[in-house]
Amino acid sequence: MLSPTTKRASLLASGAAVAGLLLSSLAGGVSYAADNESCRPDGLYKTPGVDVPYCSVYDTEGREKMGADHQRRIIGYFTSWRTGKNGQPAYLASDIPWDKITHINYAFAHVDGANKLSVGTDGPNNASTGMTWPGVAGAEMDPALPYKGHFNLLNKYKKQHPNVKTLISVGGWAETGGYFDDNGDRVNSGGFYSMATNADGSVNQAGIDTFATSAVDFIRKYGFNGVDIDYEYPTTMKDSGNPLDFTIANARRAGLVQGYAALMKSLREKLDTAGAADGKHYMLTVAAPSSGYLLRGMETFQVQKYLDYVNIMSYDLHGAWNEHVGPNASLFDDGKDSELASANVYGSAQYGSLGYLNTDWAYHYFRGSMPAGRVNIGLPYYTRGFKNVQGGTDGLWGKAVASTCPAGAGLTKCGDGAVGIDNLWHDKDTAGKESPAGSNPMWHAKNLEKGIVGDYVTQYGFPANTTLTGTYARKYDSTLVAPWLWNAEKKVFLSTEDEQSVAAKADYVVDRGVGGTMIWEMAGDYAWNAAKGQYEMGSTLTSLMYDKFKAAAPYGAKKSNKALPAQAVNIETAFTEFKLGDSNYPITPKVKITNRTNATLPGGTEFQFDYGTSAPANASDQSGFGTKVISSDHTGSNVGGLKGDFHRVSLKLPAWQSLAPGATIDLSFNYYLPVSTPSNWTVNINGTTYALAGDLARGTTVVEPGSGSTPTPNPTDPTTPVGCTAPAYVAGSVYNSGNEVSHKGHQWKAQWWTQNQEPGTTGDWGVWKDLGAC
């Protein structure tokens, strides 16, 4: 499945106190400094040795502080290109409904040719840092800032709305694998793909370190609260993402997941270190795919622990990249999705009749490894549509087969996308022709629904006397929670959002404790202009969500729905050795269990964990561990939504298999639909149940099994001093695979040929493997 060109309007276009943070005790008004660890969100990775000032952003339950009237997030993407300089309607910082939202993601920065975060060369034509809008009310520059453009205005309005956070979003559909130069021409530099992953599939730690350092410098310079990574997509599925990137991306597929994880770890650690120095927590978030197809190639989305939250791109679930006519962003499955039916998803016992092209499925995928409050669902303020639709019910689940596909789309068979007045944003293909997609801002779709030709159409290349053909009748499916417009005369289907569907999605967020919503993009929202008798840019849908969320209960802040042990032990678990791409079905990774404690785990030791209900309750193993699902929050199909969050799994060490300190054992695991990293692990050792330290749960204490004491170094643990017997590392020397060196108190082993890559700087997946302190 391909993603939208609408991601571009056009291809051209621990215990220390936080200084100064004082809380008032209810007993006698005594003030004390907040303990940073008490504010860390459940499951969030903490950079070792760094006192991260979580309490600057989170409360003592680990929930984000967004203002008294914002119990859930409303995150709006604000794009750089709707400047009004091209004669089309502008959407500037002054147009943002600042009192209704909680976060702004600025789209987009990119990875430049030197692997640094950039928005291009400064100058008066740079919309981000140099452009001005003389005579436009609300767009006057703040003279106290050394830069102009959107960044000036964002910081100007943040002074008036200090609870709103801004993040710089990097990448997007058009700039994941390259960037646009100052002339608007695309440079196929490799972007994220080559910055994070070398041509041989190994991790490019040097590129990652350059980028992460530049990201810290960038947000400090321009006043952002964090970084949002929109990498589309670090998946092993061949020909995924922008077709312009296939040559670079496909050659690196085997290493993209590891590169992505290394990137996120490095960003998290550099942001944490900078935040500690600056006295404020810097946020790291991602835009993540919602498609089960793409997620199957992303292993178990191991990066979740590094993220403050994830924004699910729960849209583009159907569109003209294929012939199946369906909703852009339905909330639920209805058991009738023609694309899934054609793949026998509903008829296969292995799939459990779970339809996976809907928001609810995607939410439960991420809920399997994250608290509900660290997940936000995406809403599109734009349409997707088809023409010449045959069959279906008012077009729904019909087909629209195209005779030709857009240039550069990487497709030999595609859907017949709507064009002209039904495709107002006129995205271009690589040949410069309009790419059929049915892509419209929601305000234009509302005018089509009402039979109105807005006065703005001349700005998009239509004559002033344009008339509409046929009637755009609004339809709605309450099972899917999806509206659309159906023009029976033209056989045009436009998937939309409106007050009814957005209200239902907002209720879903409130009822399930979800963190909030993310909007692509704010300029698509609408308002009625009575004087002109037409819909225009506005904030109707965003205001509706604000009203729903402001009185909601606090969001869900814990990963587990059940109480877990307060004591944890240092036993590592990892899902590894995934097959690549289309070979990854069934999904059969190895589960590696490593004993980092000083106690031997006897045969029969039981482990339990949860995995998300995005996969059916039929996980098993092929290694004699007796893996079985012992409880399920959901059974049956997911028509109308999944009923709960987790399946609980039990597995046991074989009776004859003990696990000594430092030893690793693995089993072949088996499941059929993607899940994010299984979590909420427990282990019963000699009658006592412990949590696992790797779950990063709030309030747990890591102990040695049976003693309740803090762990002491294990003689077989790789972090235990082993003595520096290897020669010292010498910069400039060539080292080959297997060579060992000593450097800065650790012994290191080269994984492959290297020169001038300092041990300790190449990350978990880099050339140097840490053999331990010495």
pLDDT band at 708 (very low <50, low <70, confident <90, very high): low
What is the length of the chain?
774
For residues 281-297, give the mean pLDDT.
97
Half-sphere exposure of 758 (CA within 13 A, CB side): 6
What is the tens place of the pLDDT at every residue in 716-754?
333 334 457 788 888 767 777 778 888 887 888 887 777
Q: How confident is the model at residue 765 (pLDDT cuts 50, 70, 90)?
A: low
**Residue 774 near residue 724, CB atoms below 8 Å:** yes
pLDDT attached to residue 19: 28
Q: Given this model, what pLDDT does residue 4 score?
A: 36
Torsion of CA 535, 536, 540, 541, to 10 degrees: 100
Q: What percent of the chain has pLDDT over 70?
A: 93
Walk across the sheet containing 746-750 and list its strands. 740-743, 746-750, 768-773
Categorize the per-residue pLDDT at 412 as very low, low, confident or very high, splitting at 50, 70 and 90.
confident
CA distances, 132 to each of 12, 168, 255, 395 (Å): 20, 20, 43, 45
Phi, psi for 765 (deg, rounded to 5): -110, 15
Mean pLDDT of the chain: 91
No. of helices (H) and no. of strands (E), the chain: 12, 35
Amino acid at 582: D
Higher pLDDT pick, 505 / 760: 505
Of the candidates 549, 551, 479, the residue with the CA atom closest to the CA atom of residue 514: 549
Q: Is the pLDDT of residue 421 over 70?
A: yes
Please give the pLDDT value at position 18: 26
d(CA 627, CA 563): 22
Beta partners for 167? 105, 226
Residues 387-409: what's their mean pLDDT?
95
Q: What percent of the chain has pLDDT over 90?
A: 83
Calpha distance 258→140 (Å, rounded):
45
| Nearest to 408, CA basis, from 246, 165, 295, 541 | 246
- Nearest CA to 170 out of 227, 221, 209 is that of 227
Select from 258, 238, 257 the least CA-distant residue to 248: 238
| pLDDT exceeds cutoff 80 at 322 | yes
Range in 64-78, 354-368, 652-666, 740-754 with the lowest mean pLDDT: 740-754
Beta bridge partners of residue 742, listed in sequence order = 728, 747
Count CA within 13 A, CB hemisphere, residue 623: 20
Under 8 Å CB-to-CB from 727, ≥6 apart: which residues? Answer: 741, 742
State the amino acid at position 23 in one-letter form.
Answer: L
Residue 34 pLDDT grade (very low, low, confident, very high; cuts 50, 70, 90): low
Average pLDDT of the segment spanning 282-311: 97
C-alpha–C-alpha distance, residues 689 and 606, integer Å: 9
The per-residue pLDDT for 746 is 82
Distances (CA, A) of 161 to 79, 99, 117, 344, 649: 19, 7, 26, 51, 46
pLDDT band at 318 (very low <50, low <70, confident <90, very high): very high
| Cα 614 from Cα 638, distance rounded (Å) | 9
Structural domains of the chain, ranges and CATH numbers in brackets = 567-702 (2.60.40.290), 734-773 (2.10.10.20)
Per-residue confidence (pLDDT) for residue 306, from 0 to 100 = 98
Amino acid at 530: A
Give the residue, 648 or 349, on which the prediction is more confident: 648
Q: Is pLDDT of 248 > 70?
A: yes
| C-beta of residue 646 within 8 angstroms of C-beta of residue 610 | yes
Structure pTM?
0.89
Residue 553: Cβ within 10 Å count: 10
Say if residues 122 and 130 touch (Cβ distance below 8 Å): yes
Alpha-carbon radius of gyration of the chain:
26
Q: Residue 7 has what pLDDT?
A: 36
Mean pLDDT for the stretch of residues 633-648: 97
Residue 96 gets which letter from DSSP? S
- pLDDT for the residue 748: 82
| Assigned token pair, 405 | 């596909």
Whether the pLDDT of residue 30 is over 60: the answer is no
